[in-house]
Amino acid sequence: MNERRGVQKYKIPVRQRPVEERIHDFGEVELVYSSEEARKEALRCLQCKNPPCVEDCPVHIKIPQFIQKIAEGNPHEAIGVILEDNPLPSVCGRVCPQEVQCQKRCTMARVGDPIQIGKLERFVGDTTEKNVIPGDKKGKRVAIIGSGPASLTCAGELARLGYEVEVFEALHGLGGVLLYGIPEFRLPKMVLEREINYLKALGVAFQTNVLVGRTVTFEEIRRQFDAVFLGTGAGLPKYLHIPGENLRDVFSANEFLTRINLMKSYHFGEYDTPLEVKGEVVVIGGGNVAMDAARSALRMGAPSVTVVYRRGREEMPARIEEIAHAEEEGVRFEFLASPLRIEGDGEGNVVSLLCQRMRLGEPDEKGRRCFFPIEGETFSLSARMVINAIGLETNRILLESMEGLALDAKGHVVVDETLQTSLQGVFAGGDVVLGAATVILAAGHGKQAARSIHQFLS
Ligand code: FAD
Ligand code: SF4
Ligand code: SF4
């Protein structure tokens, strides 16, 4: 290998488990770079003076600097550079949509492949340890509601600054979507456990099975703490509103994935929560949630899985890598199709999904092509299970119980530039503010909110 920068035009591929092996279990699909592979990939980076990769990363990680540390064989220094801007490198390296963020305009893409920034970030996160240095005690207490990436990041930053932090989570496990939504084959739960153990070592306290707004009121929490961070996400499924939606074996993707990821239905016997996938599965939607549901259904033993999406492949919001993995694993796609009716056998079981054929029109103001039904063109897909993955919104149980909290028309929490809500000392971030977004945007908000809380309490 030539040690000069940028000589190697094409990426060092990351090793993957073979399809025939991986579709029978929930083990991770992609392996981490070895030290040598990471160094070779790092040596491809041109160390641009005005790096577009940094501009395109939502939290502006100093990408050339951390890559240079890897090229020098020094991942233990690289981690320090990454942590200045992103507290969750092992998670983001795996799940960020790099192709539309940091890697999109990488200079190396002009002559070959972009630098594999996400894979390098994951390498650093997986192979190094973070320092546990809690700050000097401030004698002030902060409550954090929810335990997704926004909350975990906010908790970590505040604990490092010396605040006493307590996290309240409605579910019996910690991590939000990282735990119950994104499957093991994309994000092993030990990666998340490592993050949470790190926070525990920093002194963060966690309480599970606490649905704030029901188990305890928001006002009780507000009275006991000096500031509050709201990171309750957007976990409520949107419904299809078509006939047949109430049949047995019609699931929202969130319920389907929660039963698998959180309740471990694939270990039925060891765990008490079965999920029977006994025939053809149809998944409706075109995002990461749809890909996760489809690939999980295959692993649960579905003889066939078809994804129905109303636009074309180009318009799918899912990560390119996830679509490619789904295709490799045998997931089929029906593009330009929209569900009309779920048909049953008269005894509550699903037998098919009736779909409307669509066509694409001109791009809308956001650049996405609109779609129209083609009159009279319908078709039917055989199905024993239908999974709805058309989108998520905020759950209002807590939000509507918080007197004086301003929400916008979509039910998202309104915040100012410091992420403070309309209630003094109450900050919010992640999906509850942005609507269903991404892990790195949630983590970025968590970090920004921690700084604002620190300022507010100083
Ligand atoms: P969440 O992760 O939603 O966490 C919120 C937490 O708050 C939950 O644990 C919830 O139980 C808890 N909570 C809610 N209400 C209360 C209450 N009243 N009291 C106590 N606790 C409460 N993003 C990517 O960047 N890449 C991906 O590949 C990707 N894949 C995804 C796949 C799936 C299946 C899903 C659903 C989302 C995916 N996303 C992905 C989006 C990403 O996971 C979210 O944007 C991110 O998790 C939002 O983080 P958050 O901290 O705001 O909220
Ligand atoms: Fe890229 Fe995400 Fe890492 Fe930013 S956080 S450098 S977007 S992988
Ligand atoms: Fe390296 Fe690409 Fe960033 Fe340039 S744009 S510094 S080549 S990663």
Q: Residue 248 above 50 pLDDT?
A: yes
344 alpha carbon – ligand 1 mean position (Å): 33
pLDDT at 2: 47
169 alpha carbon – ligand 3 mean position (Å): 39
Q: Residue 7 above 90 pLDDT?
A: no
Q: What is the pTM of this model?
A: 0.94
Residue 62: pLDDT band (50, 70, 90) is very high
Structure tokens at 381: 């897909």
- Domain residue limits, the chain: 19-127, 141-235+394-457, 238-388
Q: Residue 1 above 60 pLDDT?
A: no
The preferred substitution site among 48, 110, 111 for testing ligand 3, maximizing ligand atoms within 8 Å of CB, is 48
Average pLDDT, the chain: 94
pLDDT at 85: 87
88 alpha carbon – ligand 2 mean position (Å): 10
What percentage of the chain exceeds 90 in pLDDT?
Answer: 86
pLDDT at 3: 64
| pLDDT tens readout for residues 416-454 | 999 999 999 999 999 999 999 999 999 999 999 999 999
* Spatial contact of 95 and 125, defined as CB atoms under 8 Å apart: no
Least trusted range by pLDDT, from 21-25, 366-370, 406-410: 366-370
Q: Residue 270 above 80 pLDDT?
A: no
Q: Residue 110 above 50 pLDDT?
A: yes
Coil vs helix vs strand at 344: strand
Residue burial 406-433, b: 16+ Cβ < 10 Å; e: rest: ebeeebbbebeeebbbebeebbbbbbbb
The rounded distance, in Å, linking the Cα atoms of 93 and 116 is 10
With CA atoms as reference, report the closest residue to 33 among 125, 93, 120. 120
Q: What is the Cα 262 distance to its own chain's centre?
A: 15
CATH of 19-127, one of 3.40.190.290, 3.40.50.360, 3.20.20.70, 1.10.1060.10: 1.10.1060.10
| pLDDT tens readout for residues 368-392 | 888 899 999 999 999 999 999 999 9
Q: Residue 271 above 70 pLDDT?
A: yes
Q: Residue 333 above 70 pLDDT?
A: yes
235 alpha carbon – ligand 1 mean position (Å): 7
pLDDT at 4: 66
pLDDT at 130: 83
Give the list of residues 6+ apart from residue 113 with CB closer than 8 angstroms, or none: 9, 10, 11
Residue 84: pLDDT band (50, 70, 90) is confident
Q: Which residues pair with 227 in a beta bridge?
A: 142
Give the DSSP H/E element, type plus range, for residue 252. strand 250-252
Residues in the chain: 458
Q: Residue 310 above 50 pLDDT?
A: yes
Task: Tell me the ligand closest to 53's alpha carbon.
Answer: 3
Q: Residue 132 above 80 pLDDT?
A: no
CATH of 141-235+394-457, one of 3.30.70.141, 3.40.50.720, 3.50.50.60, 2.40.110.20: 3.50.50.60
The preferred substitution site among 12, 43, 47 for testing ligand 3, maximizing ligand atoms within 8 Å of CB, is 47
Task: Tell me the ligand closest to 110's alpha carbon.
Answer: 3
Give the list of residues 6+ apart from residue 375 with CB closer than 8 angstroms, or none: none
Instruction: For domain 238-388, give the CATH number.
Output: 3.50.50.60
Least trusted range by pLDDT, from 54-63, 64-73, 181-190, 261-270: 261-270
pLDDT at 357: 97
Does 238-388 match 19-127 at the fold level? no
